[in-house]
Amino acid sequence: MRMFRAAVAGASGYAGGEIARLLLGHPEIELGALTASSNAGSRLGDIHPHLTPLADRVLARTTAKTLAGHQVAFLALPHGASAAIVGELAPDVIVIDCGADFRLADAGAWQHFYGSPHAGTWPYGLPELPLPLGRKGREALSGASRIAIPGCYPTACSLALAPGFAAGLLEGDDVVIVAASGTSGAGKSLKPHLLGAEAMGSMSPYGVGGAHRHTPEIEQSLSSAAGSPVTVSFTPTLAPMPRGILATCTARVGPAVTAADVRRAWEAAYADEPFVHLLPPGRWPRTADVLGSNNVYLQVALDERTRRVVAVAAVDNLTKGTAGAAVQCANVALGLPETTGLPTAGVAP
């Protein structure tokens, strides 16, 4: 068995720590360099006490030299930081970027939402995404040396609605999504609104009115599924929990579409997917059921009165929403079984 060596840049953050946790259980990827910026020189155990096997590892500074010599480099860096370092890495290094730098194909959308020059576009790391003619997103990932991991909200929202668009059941001009995320989605930086006294026992919206940066990414994924433009009204909310996303996604259906048509489309889209699970009729997703796993739980229904599909998705924003997807895409790029080293059982209660 060949062992691949991987570096994790940004290992002191939530996403980087989650990548390290998953790789500890990976039978064919071993952890190499662990890097950070302001936390360089610190013991990883002082920042992530739960990563006991790595507690004495000292975080190196994030540089191209430190990341060199690895077959895989996972980048869990702030938006805008990945583009600066990627150009110094050898082209044969598989770079898995968990930031937003290379997700968007539309340079204008990037400029509008991020306010900086567009760095380029990489293959989009959502293997299960249904596309027209029965294709899936993973087709672009096999053998790729540069992969952009989706945002956590786009993962949940895109997988929730894409089967209906790929099957031609949904209309693309009236998509409304309201999604709740745990506080870890905002990262580890100290922010007053994320203090326990502020967040616990309270929910609040943010990025209202189409301002959230994940909006164009959701539209991009759903447009790819539909084969035509899709516009989305997206409202995120902050939920009083550490991790998890629950996305409630609705779209209009055509006049002849039935509830049976809807169910068949979602069943067909994910029948062979190891991580995406359409629940039995009447059972709805809960964030608690996907905690710590690489799973997506889905349910879908047709509101006959309003002629809208309602699709609800639950994911762990740090696992399938970020780190799990990164490891999953690395598996595809390396030619390993897609499920290698990834948990399909959650943690309860």
* Catalytic-role residue among 152, 157, 249, 329: 152
Measured CA to CA, the distance from residue 250 to residue 152 in angstroms comes to 18
Nearest to 193, CA basis, from 228, 259, 148, 239? 239
Residue type, 201: G
Contact between residue 9 and residue 76 where contact means Cβ atoms under 8 Å apart? yes
Helix (H, G, I), strand (E, B) or coil at 261: helix
Structure-token pair, residue 93: 């290094």
How far apart, in whole angstroms, are the C-alpha atoms of residue 97 and residue 266?
29
Residue 94 parent element (H or E): strand 94-97
CA distance 228 to 206: 28
DSSP 206: -
Q: How far is CA 105 from the centre of its chain?
A: 17
329 catalytic per annotation: no
If you search the block for the tokens 């910026």, which residue do you land on?
37
Alpha-carbon dihedral sign for residues 120, 126, 130, 134: positive
Q: Please give the helix or strand (H or E) that residue 152 lies within, else none.
A: helix 152-166
DSSP category for residue 187: -
Which residue has tokens 């155990």?
45
Q: Exposure string (b/e) for 198-209, b if CB count within 10 Å is 16 or more?
A: ebeeeeeeebee
For residues 93 and 73, give the distance between their C-alpha atoms in angstroms, rounded to a whole number. Answer: 7
Q: Which residues are bridge partners to 136 per DSSP?
A: 130
Active-site positions read 152
